[in-house]
Structure 1
Amino acid sequence: MTTIDTEETVAPLGFLVMKNLQAASPEKLAEALENPGFGVVFTDHMVDICWSVKGGWHRPRVQPYGPIPLDPAASVLHYAQEIFEGIKAYRHADGSIHTFRPDRNAARMQASARRMSLPELPAEYFIQSLREIIAVDGRWVPSGEDQSLYLRPFMFAKEAFLGVRAAQKVAYYVIASPAGAYFSGGVKPVRIWLSEEYSRAGKGGTGKAKTGGNYASSLLAQSEATAKGCDQVVFLNEERNVEELGGMNVVFVYKDGRIVTPESDSILEGITRDSILQLAEDRGYKVEKRPISIDEWREGVASGDIVEVFACGTAAVVTPIGSLVGEGFEEPQPLGELALSLREELTDIQYGRREDKHNWLLRLDA
């Protein structure tokens, strides 16, 4: 007897669409898109899907953007059972709207959900939710240089109870915000503060999950960095190995052609980072994911073995690191051409200006 393997598929959700009767006028929209900043202006609608132990994923809808009713006893407010993602929509020269590697974001959100005892949203629903918000708010995708529509899917425990267990009622939303450059003034080398007092995450903790608590724990160190005149903060683990920045991964370029990025069970899997590393491999660079100590970093720069250091993430894409600042020292970092070259190649793919050899793009408005 012959057995035929069939790929299990999930039927699309039937969304109810409730249009925002107070949607932005063309004039207000043009004003918002002229200089959108990052994460300060939001579109007219949002996606809302419920989940419960009994009902599974249900009541999918697109509704006007606005406050979310929440019981004061909602579990998320007391036990921080919450995850999120960050992904962008890009307008191509022909007017079409695409996103970048949404399957990876969907998989990472599922991994975050497992770690935080939340239900795993099927990848098909994740991608459908992006299509649904673009269907009503596609006009919000800007067309200016380095501009995009930042999409923020997030999930949280909404069940009202005061008890330490996984919530049995959960809400999933997608909101969207037109975005310009992450750093004001455009791409330029940033100053990084070395935090030796505070940790972002620990072994066996939630570092690999994209959950709000990881970012909350970085805020005090980020405030310290700002006070020192730095743009971002870099964290170490208990073994004094480099982890990541408050919101980005770190990459080191060695003079022998190696590209090294820190790897541990407390570092978020960066989709932008992995894409950059793939493009570097395509050029013949040898990529290593391994622990790298702060001593190796500093000594490598001092000896000339490390010829470039940069940060990367969804929001900032790629940013050269110009200085490492710590208690009692400031060390200039070598600036090369690779970071900005890889950034140009990646953004050219995302905006449809260069061939997408790895089939990373997905059209959302088709």
Structure 2
Amino acid sequence: MTVTNGKGPRGASPIKASSLFFTPLPPTHVVPPGKESHGRYMLTIPWNRVSGWGQPKIGPRQDLSFDPLAGVLQYAVTCFEGMKCYKTDEGDIRLFRPNKNFDRLKRSASRLGLPCEWDNDELLELFAKLMALEKPLVPNTDGSNLYIRPTLLETSEGFGIKEDAYASEALLYVATSLNLGLGLYPSAEGLDTGIKLDACKEFIRAWPGGTGSYKLGANYGTVNVAKKPGYAMSLWLHGKEDFISEAGAMNVFIIKEAPDGFLEFTTMSLDNGIVLPGVTRESIIELLQDHASGKKDFPLEGIPKNIRIVERDISMPEIIQGLEDCTLKGMFGCGTGVVVVQVGEITYEGKTYTIPSNPIIKTIRDTITGIHRGKIDEGKSWSFKVPEWNPEGKDGESQEHVTAA
């Protein structure tokens, strides 16, 4: 059967949580040196272009192996997501809007010719079981988390020119690690000093019609060299006007006072495909729009009513003008890693500009982290409570070893 859409033939096996095969840690398990911050388990689900999704397996975290000419190694055919698991004061653990991440992973996978169809509920059940196993590792302090990295990659040979661009074999796996971002950004420690950005003109992260709006591995490794010592991250620019796009790997908001007195929260539009459609970005916009419209007050006090959300390009010269005429009232970045973090300084064309601090940023940050840890109910069911799972023996029937493909 010929496949032309990268989704697999009709009738191919879907992801089924009920077929999970679980291998517990051996009694002799010892954490390898240097791996103390990593989760103990991992989830793997192989995929084949003819048969579809294979049996999901949860077992001890281990290395993966691939053919030297695998697509992931030759052409960076891989995409991923960033998610976090939080522990509440009551001791249960939560995921934040996981279906948003699953949908974005599908979108990225489709762009690469990787499998992009599965039932989110089935995948969430598997995620929940993995998280339940790692519950003892999840910290319960503000700023702490168990970071989750779902990764999808081509394991089949991807060398040379093929008949079509779609993978023959792929692997979806999920590994975890403790406290991504803790100690690196003020948002992780409750400080308000702000981070320092370098407005980068030497390197370009993304461009219209490219892959900037997809969470592909190639978007990140190739731009890390742009980060200069002494700066938290690069502020990416594009176009002759020096429009800003993202800062490092996070979305950006500019707080400006409009001529009519309204406070505008301006962020880059998604229309040109340059910036990633962030889950935290979308959540902040929804909360602010509900507040501005009177539909529902912002969960924490401190946000004025005369606000509006603006999605458009904004340039560095406009930011500088806002500093000069005092209409620029603050700037912050947001994303899974940093949550919400204030921008304190920007270096642009050899000059450093100080961005004013704004208490609204802390209110937004505290709201999002409060939702993460079950302290705030936003009324939208964004916080998913992970059910308990204490497996007895093994689910499913298969060989005991977790394999890479």
Same fold (TM over 0.5): yes
Residue 357 of structure 1 deviates from its aligned partner by: 1.4
Residues 1:262 and 2:259 are matched in the alignment = no
Residue 85 of structure 1 deviates from its aligned partner by: 0.3
Within-5 A mapping of 1:184-195: 186=189, 187=191, 188-195=193-200
Q: CA–CA distance in 1 between the matches of 2:122 and 2:16? A: 9
Unaligned runs of 5+ in 2: 1-13, 293-306, 389-405
Residue 238 of structure 2 aligns with an amino acid whose one-letter code is N
Q: 1:11 to 1:154 in 2, by over 3 A?
A: closer
SS at match of 2:54: strand
Counterpart position of 1:4:
none
Q: 1:303 to 1:40 in 2, by over 3 A?
A: farther
The root-mean-square deviation of aligned C-alpha atoms, in Å, is: 2.2
Q: CA–CA distance in 2 between the matches of 1:307 and 1:23? A: 57
Residue 78 of structure 1 deviates from its aligned partner by: 0.5
Identity of aligned residues (%): 27
Within-5 A mapping of 1:201-216: 201-216=206-221
Residues 1:168 and 2:168 are matched in the alignment = yes
Residue 172 of structure 1 deviates from its aligned partner by: 0.4
Aligned partners of 1:97 and 1:363 also within 8 Å: yes
Residue 308 of structure 2 aligns with an amino acid whose one-letter code is K
Bigger shift: residues 235-244 or 90-99: 235-244
Residue 281 of structure 1 deviates from its aligned partner by: 2.5
Counterpart pick for 2:133 among 124, 132, 136: 136
Residue 130 of structure 1 deviates from its aligned partner by: 1.4
Q: 1:182 to 1:290 in 2, by over 3 A?
A: farther
Q: Which has the higher contact order (CA 8 A, sep 6+)?
A: 2
Q: 1:51 to 1:23 in 2, by over 3 A?
A: farther
Residue 162 of structure 1 deviates from its aligned partner by: 1.6
Q: CA–CA distance in 1 between the matches of 2:206 and 2:324? A: 28
Q: CA–CA distance in 1 between the matches of 2:74 and 2:148? A: 26
Counterpart pick for 1:346 among 358, 361, 368: 368
TM-score (norm 2): 0.80
The 4+ residue runs of structure 1 with deviation greater than 4 A are 22-25
Q: 1:244 to 1:161 in 2, by over 3 A?
A: closer
Counterpart position of 2:76:
80
Aligned partners of 1:206 and 1:214 also within 8 Å: yes
Residue 280 of structure 1 deviates from its aligned partner by: 2.3
Aligned partners of 1:189 and 1:322 also within 8 Å: yes
Residue 267 of structure 1 aligns with an amino acid whose one-letter code is V
Aligned residue pairs total 344
TM-score (norm 1): 0.88
Aligned partners of 1:272 and 1:317 also within 8 Å: yes
Aligned partners of 1:182 and 1:315 also within 8 Å: no
Unaligned runs of 5+ in 1: 1-8, 33-38
Q: CA–CA distance in 1 between the matches of 2:358 and 2:208? A: 33
Counterpart position of 1:238:
239
Q: CA–CA distance in 2 between the matches of 1:141 and 1:51? A: 30
Counterpart position of 2:98:
102
Residue 22 of structure 1 deviates from its aligned partner by: 5.7
Residue 279 of structure 1 deviates from its aligned partner by: 2.4
Counterpart position of 1:253:
255
